[in-house]
Structure 1
Amino acid sequence: MDVLLILGIALLSTVLMTAFSCILSKILAQNLIEPYWLNVLLFKKRGWRNPLGWVTHYLTGIGFMYLLIFLNDLYPLSLITTILIYGFLEGVLGIVMWGILFKMTHYPHKLNVSWYYVNLIAAHIVFATAALCTY
Protein backbone atom coordinates (compact mmCIF):
# COMPACT_ATOMS: atom_id res chain seq x y z
CA MET A 1 0.00 0.00 0.00
CA ASP A 2 1.12 3.55 -0.72
CA VAL A 3 3.14 5.07 2.14
CA LEU A 4 1.33 8.43 1.84
CA LEU A 5 -2.02 6.68 2.14
CA ILE A 6 -0.86 4.85 5.26
CA LEU A 7 0.42 8.11 6.74
CA GLY A 8 -2.90 9.78 5.97
CA ILE A 9 -4.84 6.94 7.60
CA ALA A 10 -2.53 7.07 10.64
CA LEU A 11 -3.08 10.83 10.92
CA LEU A 12 -6.87 10.50 10.63
CA SER A 13 -6.97 7.64 13.13
CA THR A 14 -4.82 9.56 15.62
CA VAL A 15 -7.03 12.64 15.24
CA LEU A 16 -10.15 10.57 15.97
CA MET A 17 -8.45 8.85 18.90
CA THR A 18 -7.43 12.20 20.36
CA ALA A 19 -10.94 13.59 19.82
CA PHE A 20 -12.27 10.62 21.77
CA SER A 21 -9.84 11.40 24.59
CA CYS A 22 -11.00 15.05 24.55
CA ILE A 23 -14.65 14.00 24.80
CA LEU A 24 -13.96 11.55 27.62
CA SER A 25 -11.93 14.25 29.37
CA LYS A 26 -14.96 16.54 29.34
CA ILE A 27 -17.30 13.79 30.56
CA LEU A 28 -15.01 12.74 33.43
CA ALA A 29 -13.69 16.24 34.19
CA GLN A 30 -10.18 14.73 33.94
CA ASN A 31 -7.49 15.73 31.47
CA LEU A 32 -6.83 12.52 29.52
CA ILE A 33 -5.44 14.17 26.38
CA GLU A 34 -2.28 12.36 25.34
CA PRO A 35 -0.39 15.29 23.69
CA TYR A 36 -0.95 17.39 26.81
CA TRP A 37 0.70 14.80 29.05
CA LEU A 38 3.51 14.25 26.54
CA ASN A 39 4.22 17.99 26.74
CA VAL A 40 4.19 17.93 30.54
CA LEU A 41 6.22 14.76 31.03
CA LEU A 42 8.68 14.76 28.13
CA PHE A 43 9.11 18.42 27.33
CA LYS A 44 8.29 20.06 30.69
CA LYS A 45 5.80 22.36 28.98
CA ARG A 46 2.38 23.06 30.41
CA GLY A 47 -0.60 23.00 28.10
CA TRP A 48 -1.76 21.22 25.02
CA ARG A 49 -0.73 23.87 22.49
CA ASN A 50 2.98 23.06 22.43
CA PRO A 51 3.63 21.24 19.12
CA LEU A 52 6.22 18.84 20.55
CA GLY A 53 3.62 16.71 22.33
CA TRP A 54 1.41 16.64 19.24
CA VAL A 55 4.25 15.68 16.90
CA THR A 56 5.33 12.92 19.29
CA HIS A 57 1.75 11.67 19.51
CA TYR A 58 1.29 11.60 15.74
CA LEU A 59 4.64 9.91 15.14
CA THR A 60 3.64 7.25 17.64
CA GLY A 61 0.33 6.91 15.78
CA ILE A 62 2.26 6.12 12.59
CA GLY A 63 4.10 3.35 14.44
CA PHE A 64 0.82 1.99 15.78
CA MET A 65 -0.62 2.06 12.27
CA TYR A 66 2.22 -0.05 10.93
CA LEU A 67 1.84 -2.45 13.87
CA LEU A 68 -1.86 -2.77 13.08
CA ILE A 69 -1.12 -3.52 9.41
CA PHE A 70 1.53 -6.07 10.43
CA LEU A 71 -0.82 -7.86 12.85
CA ASN A 72 -3.69 -7.77 10.37
CA ASP A 73 -1.51 -9.25 7.62
CA LEU A 74 -0.06 -11.88 9.94
CA TYR A 75 -3.34 -12.94 11.56
CA PRO A 76 -6.29 -11.75 9.45
CA LEU A 77 -9.58 -11.92 11.33
CA SER A 78 -13.06 -10.54 10.73
CA LEU A 79 -13.24 -6.74 10.85
CA ILE A 80 -15.01 -6.50 14.21
CA THR A 81 -12.75 -9.11 15.80
CA THR A 82 -9.66 -7.40 14.40
CA ILE A 83 -10.77 -4.01 15.69
CA LEU A 84 -11.51 -5.30 19.19
CA ILE A 85 -8.51 -7.59 19.62
CA TYR A 86 -5.84 -5.48 17.94
CA GLY A 87 -7.26 -2.22 19.32
CA PHE A 88 -7.17 -3.75 22.79
CA LEU A 89 -3.60 -5.04 22.28
CA GLU A 90 -2.45 -1.63 21.06
CA GLY A 91 -4.15 -0.08 24.09
CA VAL A 92 -2.22 -2.44 26.37
CA LEU A 93 1.00 -1.53 24.54
CA GLY A 94 0.11 2.13 25.06
CA ILE A 95 -0.39 1.47 28.78
CA VAL A 96 3.03 -0.20 28.98
CA MET A 97 4.65 2.74 27.18
CA TRP A 98 2.92 5.31 29.41
CA GLY A 99 3.69 3.26 32.51
CA ILE A 100 7.39 3.40 31.65
CA LEU A 101 7.13 7.13 31.00
CA PHE A 102 5.34 7.69 34.33
CA LYS A 103 8.05 5.74 36.18
CA MET A 104 10.82 7.69 34.45
CA THR A 105 9.28 11.13 34.99
CA HIS A 106 7.32 10.88 38.25
CA TYR A 107 3.92 11.79 36.85
CA PRO A 108 1.82 14.53 38.44
CA HIS A 109 -0.51 13.15 41.08
CA LYS A 110 -3.44 15.16 39.75
CA LEU A 111 -3.65 12.67 36.88
CA ASN A 112 -5.98 9.78 37.65
CA VAL A 113 -3.84 7.02 36.14
CA SER A 114 -6.63 4.42 36.33
CA TRP A 115 -8.95 6.53 34.20
CA TYR A 116 -6.05 7.37 31.92
CA TYR A 117 -5.41 3.68 31.29
CA VAL A 118 -9.11 2.98 30.66
CA ASN A 119 -9.06 5.86 28.18
CA LEU A 120 -6.01 4.38 26.43
CA ILE A 121 -7.76 1.05 25.84
CA ALA A 122 -10.94 2.69 24.51
CA ALA A 123 -9.04 5.30 22.48
CA HIS A 124 -6.93 2.62 20.79
CA ILE A 125 -10.09 0.74 19.86
CA VAL A 126 -11.28 4.00 18.27
CA PHE A 127 -7.89 4.24 16.53
CA ALA A 128 -8.16 0.65 15.25
CA THR A 129 -11.73 1.26 14.07
CA ALA A 130 -10.76 4.33 12.06
CA ALA A 131 -7.58 2.72 10.73
CA LEU A 132 -9.09 -0.60 9.67
CA CYS A 133 -12.28 0.87 8.22
CA THR A 134 -10.26 3.19 6.01
CA TYR A 135 -7.40 0.78 5.25
Structure 2
Amino acid sequence: MTIDVILNIILISTITMTAFSYLMTRLLKENLVEPYWLNVILFNKKLLLRPLGWLVHFITGIGFFYLLYLLNSIFNFGLLLNGLAIGIIEGCLGVFMWYIAFKFIEKPDNLKLRLYYYNLIGAHIVFSYTGLICLNQF
Protein backbone atom coordinates (compact mmCIF):
# COMPACT_ATOMS: atom_id res chain seq x y z
CA MET A 1 0.00 0.00 0.00
CA THR A 2 1.47 3.35 -1.03
CA ILE A 3 1.69 6.45 1.16
CA ASP A 4 -0.87 8.30 -0.98
CA VAL A 5 -3.38 5.46 -0.48
CA ILE A 6 -2.75 5.52 3.27
CA LEU A 7 -3.17 9.30 3.44
CA ASN A 8 -6.39 9.08 1.43
CA ILE A 9 -7.78 6.44 3.79
CA ILE A 10 -6.86 8.61 6.78
CA LEU A 11 -8.45 11.67 5.17
CA ILE A 12 -11.66 9.81 4.27
CA SER A 13 -11.90 8.20 7.71
CA THR A 14 -11.28 11.48 9.54
CA ILE A 15 -13.83 13.31 7.40
CA THR A 16 -16.51 10.66 7.94
CA MET A 17 -15.98 10.65 11.71
CA THR A 18 -16.23 14.44 11.73
CA ALA A 19 -19.36 14.25 9.57
CA PHE A 20 -20.82 11.98 12.25
CA SER A 21 -20.01 14.65 14.85
CA TYR A 22 -21.65 17.31 12.67
CA LEU A 23 -24.76 15.12 12.41
CA MET A 24 -24.86 14.58 16.17
CA THR A 25 -24.36 18.32 16.67
CA ARG A 26 -27.45 18.98 14.53
CA LEU A 27 -29.53 16.28 16.22
CA LEU A 28 -28.57 17.11 19.81
CA LYS A 29 -28.13 20.87 19.34
CA GLU A 30 -24.75 20.78 21.10
CA ASN A 31 -21.45 21.46 19.35
CA LEU A 32 -19.60 18.13 19.27
CA VAL A 33 -17.26 18.85 16.33
CA GLU A 34 -13.68 17.90 17.21
CA PRO A 35 -11.78 20.45 15.04
CA TYR A 36 -13.86 23.26 16.56
CA TRP A 37 -12.92 22.25 20.12
CA LEU A 38 -9.29 21.76 19.11
CA ASN A 39 -9.29 25.35 17.87
CA VAL A 40 -10.85 26.52 21.14
CA ILE A 41 -8.50 24.75 23.55
CA LEU A 42 -5.26 24.87 21.55
CA PHE A 43 -5.52 28.18 19.73
CA ASN A 44 -8.20 30.03 21.72
CA LYS A 45 -10.22 30.54 18.52
CA LYS A 46 -13.92 29.81 18.24
CA LEU A 47 -13.98 29.31 14.50
CA LEU A 48 -15.28 26.12 12.97
CA LEU A 49 -13.38 26.38 9.70
CA ARG A 50 -10.03 27.49 11.11
CA PRO A 51 -7.48 25.17 9.46
CA LEU A 52 -5.27 24.59 12.51
CA GLY A 53 -7.89 22.53 14.35
CA TRP A 54 -8.49 20.48 11.22
CA LEU A 55 -4.74 19.96 10.75
CA VAL A 56 -4.32 18.74 14.34
CA HIS A 57 -7.35 16.48 13.89
CA PHE A 58 -5.96 14.99 10.67
CA ILE A 59 -2.49 14.45 12.18
CA THR A 60 -4.09 12.70 15.15
CA GLY A 61 -6.00 10.58 12.62
CA ILE A 62 -2.67 9.29 11.31
CA GLY A 63 -1.90 7.75 14.69
CA PHE A 64 -5.40 6.34 15.02
CA PHE A 65 -5.13 4.80 11.55
CA TYR A 66 -1.91 3.00 12.43
CA LEU A 67 -3.51 1.72 15.63
CA LEU A 68 -6.48 0.54 13.57
CA TYR A 69 -4.12 -1.19 11.14
CA LEU A 70 -2.24 -2.91 13.98
CA LEU A 71 -5.38 -4.02 15.84
CA ASN A 72 -6.99 -5.25 12.63
CA SER A 73 -3.96 -7.48 12.02
CA ILE A 74 -4.31 -8.91 15.54
CA PHE A 75 -8.10 -9.31 15.67
CA ASN A 76 -9.70 -11.92 13.48
CA PHE A 77 -13.43 -11.46 14.09
CA GLY A 78 -14.50 -10.21 10.67
CA LEU A 79 -15.34 -6.71 9.55
CA LEU A 80 -18.40 -6.13 11.74
CA LEU A 81 -16.84 -7.14 15.05
CA ASN A 82 -13.36 -5.79 14.24
CA GLY A 83 -14.86 -2.42 13.34
CA LEU A 84 -16.89 -2.25 16.53
CA ALA A 85 -14.09 -3.47 18.81
CA ILE A 86 -11.43 -1.23 17.28
CA GLY A 87 -13.81 1.73 17.22
CA ILE A 88 -14.58 1.32 20.92
CA ILE A 89 -10.89 0.95 21.79
CA GLU A 90 -9.97 4.02 19.74
CA GLY A 91 -12.95 5.93 21.11
CA CYS A 92 -11.85 5.22 24.67
CA LEU A 93 -8.33 6.32 23.74
CA GLY A 94 -9.75 9.52 22.25
CA VAL A 95 -11.74 10.18 25.43
CA PHE A 96 -8.61 9.60 27.49
CA MET A 97 -6.62 12.03 25.32
CA TRP A 98 -9.26 14.75 25.76
CA TYR A 99 -9.46 14.00 29.49
CA ILE A 100 -5.69 14.53 29.77
CA ALA A 101 -5.90 17.70 27.67
CA PHE A 102 -8.52 19.11 30.03
CA LYS A 103 -6.21 18.41 32.99
CA PHE A 104 -3.68 20.82 31.47
CA ILE A 105 -5.93 23.19 29.54
CA GLU A 106 -9.08 24.67 31.01
CA LYS A 107 -12.23 23.01 29.71
CA PRO A 108 -14.59 25.44 27.98
CA ASP A 109 -17.65 26.10 30.15
CA ASN A 110 -20.10 25.42 27.33
CA LEU A 111 -18.74 21.95 26.48
CA LYS A 112 -20.85 19.16 27.95
CA LEU A 113 -18.17 16.57 28.59
CA ARG A 114 -20.29 13.45 29.07
CA LEU A 115 -22.13 14.06 25.80
CA TYR A 116 -18.87 14.93 24.04
CA TYR A 117 -17.18 11.76 25.28
CA TYR A 118 -20.07 9.55 24.15
CA ASN A 119 -19.93 11.26 20.78
CA LEU A 120 -16.19 10.56 20.56
CA ILE A 121 -16.78 6.85 20.97
CA GLY A 122 -19.45 6.86 18.26
CA ALA A 123 -17.28 8.96 15.96
CA HIS A 124 -14.35 6.58 16.39
CA ILE A 125 -16.56 3.63 15.56
CA VAL A 126 -17.40 5.45 12.31
CA PHE A 127 -13.68 6.14 11.78
CA SER A 128 -12.90 2.47 12.35
CA TYR A 129 -15.52 1.11 9.97
CA THR A 130 -14.57 3.64 7.30
CA GLY A 131 -10.88 2.80 7.62
CA LEU A 132 -11.50 -0.95 7.49
CA ILE A 133 -13.82 -0.70 4.49
CA CYS A 134 -11.26 1.44 2.67
CA LEU A 135 -8.46 -0.98 3.58
CA ASN A 136 -10.46 -3.84 2.09
CA GLN A 137 -10.85 -1.88 -1.14
CA PHE A 138 -7.11 -1.29 -1.67
Which TM bucket (shorter chain)?
Answer: over 0.9
Output the CA distance in 2 between the equivalents of 1:63 and 1:44.
24
Partner in structure 1 of residue 14 of structure 2: 14
Identify the range of structure 1 (119-128 vs 101-110) with the bigger mean alpha-carbon deviation. 101-110
Displacement of 1:16: 0.4
Q: Note if 1:23 corresponds to 2:23.
A: yes
Partner of 2:128: 128
| Structure 2 alignment gaps of length 5 or more | none
Q: Which runs of 5+ in 1 are unaligned?
A: none
> Segments of 4+ in structure 1 off by > 2 A?
74-77
Q: Which amino acid aligns with 1:81?
A: L
Hey, what's the Cα distance between the residues in 2 that align with 1:100 and 1:88? 18
One-letter amino acid of the structure 1 residue matched with residue 51 of structure 2:
P
Give the distance between the partners of 2:73 and 2:7, measured in 1 at CA.
18
Per the TM alignment, residue 129 of structure 1 is displaced from its structure 2 partner at its CA by 0.8
Kindly state the Cα deviation for residue 76 of structure 1 after the two structures are TM-superposed. Answer: 2.9
Q: What is the match of residue 65 of structure 1?
A: 65
How far apart are the structure 2 equivalents of 1:102 and 1:28? Answer: 23
Cα-Cα RMSD? 0.8
Alignment coverage as a number of residue pairs: 135
Equivalent residue, structure 2, for 1:112: 112
- For 2:21 and 2:62, locate their aligned partners in 1 and report how far apart those are by CA, in whole Å: 18
Shift of residue 77, structure 1, vs aligned partner: 2.5
Using the TM superposition, give the Cα deviation of residue 49 of structure 1 relative to its aligned residue in structure 2, in angstroms. 1.6
Q: Distance in 1 between matches of 2:71 and 2:6?
A: 15
Match of 2:90 in 1: 90
Report Cα offsets for 1:1-34 as digits up to 9, x if no partner.
Answer: 2221111001000000000000100111100000
What letter matches 2:31 in structure 1? N
CA separation in 2, counterparts of 1:84 and 1:49? 30
Q: Which 10-residue stretch deviates more, 32-41 or 72-81?
A: 72-81
Partner of 2:38: 38
